[in-house]
Structure 1
Amino acid sequence: MVNDKNVLTDEIIKLLNGGTAHATFDDAIAGLPTQHRGQIPNGLPYSIWQLVEHIRIALWDMLEFSKDGNHQSPKWPDGYWVKDEAPENDEAWDKSLNQIKTNLAEMIDLVKTGDLFTQIPHGDGQTLLREALQAADHTAYHVAEIIIIRRLLGTWES
């Protein structure tokens, strides 16, 4: 007999990792030329760097909210978007990417071990299931934007 919770957990993890129906975060940034991290194509409001940082901040916030009743979310919307169009240096870029990977792994561990259905005590109806699905959906949405920017910059090979 199939364990429904295991099936659901496995599907959430697939969704968090991305790639089942679309490109992953790692796919979207692979081979990105350094000089394109901070470019903003004509008519768009942000750069790839700003999207990467937005993904990092939002994922961190959803993770921390899911596990820490004392967590304070950034002020919306300013606290979720950086003003700098480009990272200060390669170290800042790598630090952001590493935090995304670390927080994603921690969210996956929380999904594996946590109660998906009980409301988070310090929330207003949220569950771990909702936070994990929101994290996956949010990241996928912005991964698509990264790919669009790369297409506009001529740096995406599908």
Structure 2
Amino acid sequence: MENTRSESIEGLVREQLVELLKGGFAPNVILLREFDHRKAGIVLDGLHFSAWVLLGHIHARHTTLLNFMKDPGKHGNVWPDAPWPQNYAPQSQQEWNAAIDRYEADLEEMMAIVKSPNTELFRKQENGKTLSWAAMTTLHHTGYHIGQLKTIGRQLGVW
């Protein structure tokens, strides 16, 4: 009975992590696809980034954490400096959409890892972190910067 309860709780945690990785009630990929690529390169007064830079930064950090989840022994450095892209604007709508496609593909891969009952989400790795920590860090980091992107979009009249 206890094992069934533990499995049920773990299943619920997996389900909720996946929901939050998507962005919860405001899915990140939908928000990014709604953003007008022609406004993605605008840097508002007082900021040092555009929506394009935020997308690049979000994806860079996400990639680091995904690599850790795929091979924790090889990718134990989970918090190196995440790059901030130097170019502030996509060259075209195709470049903007391709960047979103890459982010979405990596997000799907991370969610598949979290969903898999074969993934040991709570086992401490050599660096002291767990795969559940990586998933939660991803959703926290992404949520923080998606909030910034949403604010920029509102200021620019995207929504």
TM over 0.5: yes
Structure 1 match to 2:121:
116
Q: Structure 1: which 5+ runs fail to align?
A: none
Q: State the distance in 1 between where 2:77 and 2:53 align.
A: 18
Q: Check the 8 A contact 2:21/2:111 in 1, yes or no.
A: yes
Q: CA RMSD in A?
A: 2.1
Structure 2 match to 1:149:
152
Q: TM-score by structure 2 length?
A: 0.85
Q: State the distance in 1 between where 2:39 and 2:77 align.
A: 30
Q: Check the 8 A contact 2:37/2:92 in 1, yes or no.
A: no
* Among 100, 105, 110, the residue aligned to 1:107: 110
Aligned-residue sequence identity (percent) comes to 28
Q: State the distance in 2 between where 1:95 and 1:37 align.
A: 14
Q: CA deviation at 1:53?
A: 0.8
Structure 1 match to 2:99:
96
Q: State the distance in 1 between where 2:115 and 2:62 align.
A: 17
Q: Check the 8 A contact 1:24/1:143 in 2, yes or no.
A: no
Change in Cα spacing, 1:128 to 1:138, as seen in structure 2 (3 Å) is: same
Matched, 1:5 2:10: yes
Q: CA deviation at 1:102?
A: 0.8
Q: TM-score by structure 1 length?
A: 0.85
Q: State the distance in 2 between where 1:71 and 1:95 align.
A: 25
Q: Check the 8 A contact 1:38/1:47 in 2, yes or no.
A: yes
Change in Cα spacing, 1:57 to 1:105, as seen in structure 2 (3 Å) is: same
Change in Cα spacing, 1:106 to 1:41, as seen in structure 2 (3 Å) is: same
Q: CA deviation at 1:152?
A: 1.4
Q: Number of matched residues?
A: 151
Q: State the distance in 2 between where 1:112 and 1:100 align.
A: 18
Q: Structure 2: which 5+ runs fail to align?
A: none
* Structure-to-structure mapping, 1:4-153, within 5 angstroms: 4-20=9-25, 23-68=26-71, 69-71=73-75, 76-77=80-81, 79-113=82-116, 114-121=119-126, 124-153=127-156
Q: State the distance in 2 between where 1:105 and 1:44 align.
A: 30
